[in-house]
Homo-oligomer: A and B are copies of this chain.
Amino acid sequence: MTQTKHMLSLLVENNAGVLSRIAGLFTRRGYNIDSLTVGETQDPKNSRMTIVMTCDEAALEQIKKQFNKLIEVIKVTELSYNNALTRELVLIKLEADENSRSRVIEIANIFRAKIIDVTAGTMTVEMTGDEVKISGFLELMRPFGVMELVRTGFCGIERG
């Protein structure tokens, strides 16, 4: 079966073991996680996890079934690019001196990215977007020389 990217949003109880049990599920089955984010929700008892993975439909169904068996997992939702708004935050530190600085600013403005730090030889840019926007931005930034790239991984929220 064809391998595609899937994004799962998990509402989980906020306890010390849940992350390790969820990560363990992936390890035991040899599935790799493309990205994972976990943060608080409006209710401090719960956390929201967003997991992106590349797998076929059979593996996806298997993983969802396993998640639903964990007592700490309250709800599993599959987010697609149609029913959800997905965003990632990227911090990128570039080599940039006085000659290239204005070109970096130009591209950052087009993508509504923010310059958050500048030194004599570097610039650090913050930007958010969906997958298409972020990969487009990184493509344009690469020629300047990427010194460091930090990505949060995707998070998503259902529309409407």
Q: Specify which chain B residues have a CB less than 8 angstroms from the CB of A22 in the assembled complex.
A: 23
Residue of B nearest to A119 (CB): B160
A68-104 interface bits toward B, Cβ cutoff 8 Å, 1 = contact, 0 = none: 0000000000000000010111010100000000000
The secondary structure that dominates the A interface is strand
Total copies of this chain within the assembly: 2
- In the complex, whether A143 has a CB less than 8 A from a CB of chain B is no
Given contacts A27-B20, A36-B38, contact A151 B155 (CB under 8 A): yes
Q: Specify which chain B residues have a CB less than 8 angstroms from the CB of A157 in the assembled complex.
A: 91, 93, 124, 148, 150
Q: Specify which chain B residues have a CB less than 8 angstroms from the CB of A152 in the assembled complex.
A: 37, 39, 50, 88-89, 152-153, 155
Interface residues of A in 2-60 (CB under 8 A from B): 9, 14-17, 19-20, 22-24, 26-27, 30-42, 48, 50
A124 vs B48: C-alpha distance when bound (angstroms): 17
Residue of B nearest to A130 (CB): B116
B151/A39 in contact, CB under 8 A: yes
Closest chain B CB from A29 CB (angstroms): 9
